[in-house]
Amino acid sequence: MSAPSFAAIAPGNLAVVTGAASGIGLAAAQAFAAGGMRVAMLDRAGETLDNATASIDGAVAFATDVADRSAIADLARTIVERHGPVSVLMNNAGVGSGGDVFADPAAWDEVIGVNLMGVVHGVQAFVPEMLGHGGPGLVINTGSKQGITHPPGNTAYNVSKAGVKALTEGLAHSLRERAGDRVTAHLLIPGFTHTGMTRGRPVERPAGAWSPEQVVDLMLERVARGDFYIVCPDNETTPEQDAKRIAWAAGDIIENRPALSRWHPAWKEQFAAFLND
């Protein structure tokens, strides 16, 4: 039996997807539309958004920057006034670059502004009305495994996605207190996925990567059964490997190991043995 909030995905209901012009956002918009939903597609202005919206019958495009709090608040009111109550909100917009802690502050501002504050803005703009209209509702926020295991090299991105994890956990608790299981929050945690953010990759999908459609298929399956954490494998990482990597990251705190010990010269062999045990 599906979770009560999954009834939000129903013909005629409205889904709002940010970062909808490509990748996981576009695949999600297509899946919602295939189920008979009306879809509002939010992304930065441009031909990519126009073409994506034109590919989905009945979809409507709204060009915006999720990092702009007032713009998202105004847009939420416009969408509800024109198209009615929102049943599904997917905060998916994201940018990948940023760098380590010493990188360009402007790059940090963009990554935190889009990846983290864009989710905050979406939640604050849309969710109060979702609670108020009385029907079932789903909020799906796109996180990342990097927000849990924090591999070195792009600290800005890791910080933004760690924030999305904490935000969505807190949101799930707040929704449970206010609406029981009528409106629920879920954290999508993709694996290696071939999207626009994997720049530098081949045009063709690498053998190790999942397609955005595979991610969305798993997302819908797991949301239907009420899962909060939706950790996606890929073609090079199994669920068992993901579980061990996450457990090792938590073990750094519990066992007082050096930060990011998985990549520490003195701990690499122990991590490899743990992973292969």
Judged on CB neighbours under 10 Å (0-12, 13-18, 19+), 114 is: buried
Q: Give the three-state DSSP class for 65.
A: coil
Neighbours of 276 (CB within 10 A): 8
Instruction: List the end-to-end C-alpha distance of the chain, in Å, as a whole number.
Output: 36
State residue 99 phi and psi, 5-degree precision. 100, -175
Q: Are 163 and 123 in contact (CB under 8 A)?
A: no
The number of beta carbons lying within 10 Å of the beta carbon of residue 226 is 15
- Helix/strand/coil for 106: helix
Query: How many CB atoms are located within 10 Å of the residue 153 CB?
Result: 12
- Please provide residue 169's backbone torsions phi and psi, each rounded to the nearest 5 degrees: -60, -45
- Phi and psi torsions of 145, nearest 5°: -60, -30
Nearest Cα to 112, choosing from 168, 161, 69, 45? Answer: 161
Q: Are 152 and 100 in contact (CB under 8 A)?
A: yes
Which of 6, 126, 157, 248 does the annotation list as catalytic? Answer: 157
Q: How many other C-beta atoms lie within 10 A of the C-beta of residue 203?
A: 5
157 labelled catalytic? yes
Q: Is the dihedral of CA 159, 161, 165, 167 positive or negative?
A: positive
Residues classed as catalytic: 157
